[in-house]
Structure 1
Amino acid sequence: MRTCETLAFFLLTAFVLFPGQLQAKTPMRGDPEKLLSFAHHLREKQDLYRAEGEYMAFLFLFPQHPKAAEAWFFLGRTRQQTGRWEAALEAFLHAVKAGDPRWSGEAGMAVGESLLALGRPLEAARSFQALAQDPSWERLRSKALWLAARAWLAARDWEQAHRVLLQIRPEDPEAPEAHLMASRIETESPLLPRRNEWVAGGLSALLPGAGHLYAGRPWEALTSFLLNFAFLAGSVWSVKEGCLVSSGILSFLELSWYLGGIESAAEAARKYNNQKEESWIRELGQIPASGMDSALPDGVKIRLLGFRWRF
């Protein structure tokens, strides 16, 4: 017998004599309860990618099972833990759509979390508010309102954040912190230091660098002034020396730098405002809300305004 035929013969013999050692030890795919339980076990052991595969197998094999919403929900949680927020959002939306009262509320909260993490605070705020207005989820109302307010802050809508915080009732666990935050928003938001973009651009049009100085960027102001001065002086000197071509080139470069400086000053004013707002929101975010740990999954980080918050 040839080598390949001999090898095949021995493999077939081994398979017949020792089937238990050669067959993969996987849960019974015909038993949905065992399959879902196995997926939960893998997730608890932090074997996240295998757990995701088992949840997906469950949903593929038993899409109409009474525990399908549970599988969708924990599939979303598993994807959250691996940082795949778009995929997690898709799973949570399926869990909400399933309409299982045991999971639709928690899934709705998770939809908002995912939208926040994806940098979509307006959608997140509306999602949290819709959940808070659903009477069937009264137990999640105050937590949803608290997170909606934070989402409105991320969207830089102080009025909406203030309005939502005032909807939290005095008996709710989040009430002390929520009312403190609402008070600070009302009193502090109008006093936030700001720089007007048009003023910054106008100052740079009058004197290159002045707009950057107004926007709190002294080194950029100095650079802008010196470069504009150098180009302008070179152009004037070229005219005096009769080098009209050189003067034209330098004048063109100076005009480009001059106009760019105006735009840059306006952008510096926008950045100044953003930095002040981010610093203020970060300070507001230090106010913890009672019971918030149970509203979000362990280890979930939510991106707000370019930095991360851990609840």
Structure 2
Amino acid sequence: MRPALKSCLIVLLVALTLLAETCASQADDMKWVSGPSNILTFADHLYETRDYFRGISEYKRFIYLFPNEPRVGRANFRIGLCYQKSGNLENAIHTFREILRRDSSPEAARSVKYEIGKCYFLGRDYQKAGQVLGELNTDRSLVMAGWSMLRGGRYAEASGYFERAQNVRPGGYLSELSSKLSRESLEGEGILKNSPVLAAFLSVPLPGAGRTYCGRLGDGIFSFLLVSASYVAAYHYYDDDQDVAALGFLAAGLFLHTGDIYGAAISARRFNAVSEEDFLKKIENKHNLGSILLD
């Protein structure tokens, strides 16, 4: 064999050996990256760091590659949580319902239905949230159901849920919390509220009276002066036989007066909403309900 040819064969053999070792190493690396535990660990990392959209992709990749893996149910549950925490409540509810369709065990029903109830709560559908959570009959779910009714302005029903929660595990932390919430929720029945109808009627004979009734004295005085000035100007021009100007100021006065009547009713509703929100925030912050029930 010629020396040059022999050298070429040796170089080729060495190159092929190195290539084989490189491919084997890359295959091992790919196996590590694509292993079920590693994919799930990475997905969990994304979930913990609140990168929910990428987390959903990784959990779905895990389910697609390893459909018979025992941890598929956990991955599906985490997908639902990712949707929930990212605000995609419709997809979250759909995902949780699919889990229930596949797994009807009592353990799955409790945890998954609780998250469905949370989705309704976060979506401000407090009636549905209370219904779903109230059916679970756990202390945590009943407290959450009571909170839902509080948020929905149904204070007596909220107190009822809290009373039920007290008896699930007497002496526990949630039982003591429920006892306090049961009493405090009934205080919502005594929240000072203004009547939108009365506010509107007060503004009919006296512009600004409805806003003053709602505690907006400055707005009431401004409305009174503005509407009154329009009517006075209309009368002045009418008395001076300037009918066109009188008609213009009269129309302006009627327009402003109508707006004041409507604004008085809106002010009453806004006053009521602020009063209720202040009451709810006071209870929620006092007992730290968000961190206890939503985290």
Using the size of structure 2 for normalisation, the TM-score is 0.79
Write out per-residue CA displacement over residues 17-37 of structure 1, whole angstroms, 9 at most, x where no aligned residue. Answer: 8656699958676x6555434
Judge conservation of contact 2:155–2:189 (CA < 8 Å) in 1: no
Q: What is the 5 A alignment of 1:50-129?
A: 50-61=54-65, 66-99=70-103, 101=105, 102-129=107-134
Relative to structure 1, the CA distance from residue 34 to residue 271 in structure 2 (aligned partners, 3 Å threshold; closer, same or farther) is same
Where does residue 8 of structure 2 map in the other structure? none
- Look up the match of 1:267: 266
Kindly state the Cα deviation for residue 67 of structure 1 after the two structures are TM-superposed: 3.6
Matches within 5 A, 1:268-287: 268-287=267-286
Q: Please give the residue correspondences for 1:1-311 in structure 2 after superposition, counting only pairs within 5 Å.
A: 25=30, 35-44=39-48, 46-61=50-65, 66-99=70-103, 101=105, 102-132=107-137, 141-168=138-165, 169=167, 170-186=170-186, 188-288=187-287, 295-297=293-295
2:208/2:219 contact within 8 Å kept:
yes
- Counterpart-to-counterpart distance in 2, 1:107 and 1:269: 40
Q: Which has the higher contact order (CA 8 A, sep 6+)?
A: 1
Q: Give distance in 2, aligned partners of 1:172 and 1:287.
A: 18
Structure 2: which 5+ residue stretches go unaligned?
Answer: 1-18
In 2, Cα distance between equivalents of 1:36 and 1:206: 70
Greater percentage in helix: 2
Given that residues 52 and 86 in structure 2 are in contact (C-alpha distance below 8 angstroms), is that contact kept between their aligned partners in structure 1? yes
Give the secondary-structure state (helix, strand or coil) at the position aligned to 1:162.
Answer: helix
Structure 1 unaligned spans of 5+: 1-15, 133-140, 298-311
Distance in 1 between residues matched to 2:294 and 2:32, nearest whole Å:
30
Mapped partners of 1:190, 1:236: distance in 2: 48
Deviation at 1:81, TM superposition (A): 4.0
Structure 1 residue matching 2:211: 3-state secondary structure = helix
Please list the CA deviations of residues 228-265 of structure 1 after superposition, one character each: whole Å capped at 9, or x if unmatched.
01111121122122221222222222212212211111
Deviation at 1:79, TM superposition (A): 3.1
TM-fit CA distance, 1:41? 4.1
Give the direction of change, closer, same or farther, for the CA distance of 1:218–1:54 in structure 2 (3 Å limit): same
- Higher Cα radius of gyration: 2
Amino acid at match of 2:183: S
CA RMSD between the two structures: 3.1
Q: How many residues are aligned here?
A: 272
Taking structure 1 as the reference length, the TM-score comes to: 0.76
* Alpha-carbon distance between aligned partners in 1 of 2:201 and 2:234, rounded to the nearest angstrom: 24
Mean CA deviation greater in 265-274 or 70-79: 70-79
CA distance in 1, matches of 2:104, 2:203: 60
Alpha carbons 1:208, 1:225 under 8 Å: kept = yes
For residues 142-173 of structure 1, give each alpha carbon's deviation from its aligned partner in whole angstroms, at most 9, with x where no partner exists: 00000110110100011110111111213443
- Do 1:116 and 1:124's aligned partners in 2 also have CA atoms closer than 8 Å? yes
